[in-house]
Structure 1
């Protein structure tokens, strides 16, 4: 029989809670999904507790949720941000997740306005760029930013890498302490016009695509990268530095 310790107070400090946005996927039936690789580094290197956030627009009270989260991570995804979100026309080939767009934009907006830290990886960077009034493009250097074979197996999908140059004086440059790093890159869209108020943190080498940005519009950090730092975190000091930045931002918010 389980014994309960009422009013327990000996478990140490409570960790900050970061929401991690799910995607709408099909596994025989519609499900909410997020890759485990996004969750584990937040626990290990950012010292956070993870709460999965469903991408179900009609079921989400983003105002209530934003008041309870200490931070938010918009993950990568197999879907693209709908072009209608930034004034362009969607194509028949676009893999869309309209509910993900809706929840990401509304929840991230409320979090930022409340001064709470928000982070993005891959699709997450693209969502945040659109939220700040920027646009996206699929006119990328063929084969540079991701594998050209759509049938690439998951086990080898993230073998694709390229170099990025870190902006001097930026958050990433200060944390990583190197002017250039090699990153894991798997994406078919990227930034066209940078959103208003966003500071460039990194460019792709050699084509110059914006690969990371930061901002602090309402007192909380906004930081996003186009690459996949959650892949092989243990083997990449630059990836561990990214998640440590998340942990620092969460801690700064909690300590106010």
Structure 2
């Protein structure tokens, strides 16, 4: 084996984007992230991906935020715990408390450092909570709620509905469209929008906030309720989401 020692030039170094994992169990506790979130970050955002463990008691989010160029908060099979945004004593199901803790703390540090933070599905919900907003599980029939564990994986993403992009927003400018069809799989949605967030998209069926943006400390924050990573190869508006992330990273 030959080694390339210091001084070799393999071209420009790609920015590193952190992708937050989730806590799942496959015979034993594991850190997991769906592979479909990784490919678009490389192909359309021009980034190198670093998986971030959602293990709250060992994560040094301050050190990590100083090394990452950006952060993607992915979708997940878990919900944000109600204690994060509500004083109700309702019983939670399908929660991941460590994911909540790492996502909110790391995203907050990244935003304060002026680095881009993007969110998909659960990621949108986490960012809304981070900005002081609240969530609801009372969604109208126009939104698909994943509730049956036995549902076939592929069929989860069969549900498509329309959203209106807000004029002058990041998504409207990037797609050159005012209405797009999106794929949704979620049980929580935005109730009260967080402070300082700008609406990017509304559901046609009931005006649920489906996307928002912000730039509180110089870095772009952009989150969508739908799943652009699912149909990214054949959908220009989905690719636009990841291209916007790449632009925010300076690629």
Instruction: Please give the TM-score of this superposition, normalised by the length of structure 1.
Output: 0.95
How many pairs are equivalent?
A: 251
Alpha carbons 1:142, 1:148 under 8 Å: kept: no
Aligned residue in 1 for 2:181:
182
Q: Which residue does the alignment assign to 2:223?
A: 224
Secondary structure of 1:57's partner? coil
Whole-angstrom CA distance in 1 between matches of 2:146 and 2:51? 29
Question: Is this contact kept in 1: 2:142–2:161, CA < 8 A?
Answer: no
Provide the alpha-carbon RMSD of the alignment. 1.3
Which residue in the other structure is 2:103 paired with? Answer: 104
2:57 is the alignment partner of 1:45:
no
> 1:117 maps to what in 2?
116
Residue in 1 aligned with 2:55? 56
For residues 93 and 152 of structure 2, the distance between their equivalents in structure 1, rounded to whole angstroms, comes to: 21
1:37 positional shift:
0.3
Measure, in 1, the Cα distance between the counterparts of 2:89 and 2:82.
5
Shift of 1:220: 0.3
CA distance in 2, matches of 1:231, 1:104: 22
C-alpha offsets along residues 181-201 of structure 1, whole Å, 9 cap, x if unaligned? 000000011000000000000
Give the Å deviation of 1:92: 3.4
Q: How does 1:82-231 map to 2 (within 5 A)?
A: 82-89=81-88, 91-92=90-91, 94-142=93-141, 144-146=143-145, 149-231=148-230
Deviation at 1:146, TM superposition (A): 3.7
Say whether the 8 Å CA contact 2:16–2:70 is kept in structure 1.
Answer: yes
TM-score by length of 2: 0.97
Equivalent position SS for 1:39 = helix
User: Are 1:73 and 2:72 an aligned pair?
Assistant: yes
CA distance in 1, matches of 2:33, 2:73: 10
Distance 2:227 2:128 in 1: 17
- Any conservation in 2 of the 1:147–1:160 contact (CA below 8 Å)? no
| 1:124 Cα deviation from its structure 2 partner | 0.2
| Alpha-carbon distance in structure 2 between the residues aligned to 1:30 and 1:147 | 23
Q: In structure 1, what is the equivalent of residue 237 of structure 2?
A: 238
1:79 positional shift: 0.4
Shift of 1:6: 0.4
> Does the 8 Å contact 1:105/1:127 carry over to 2?
yes
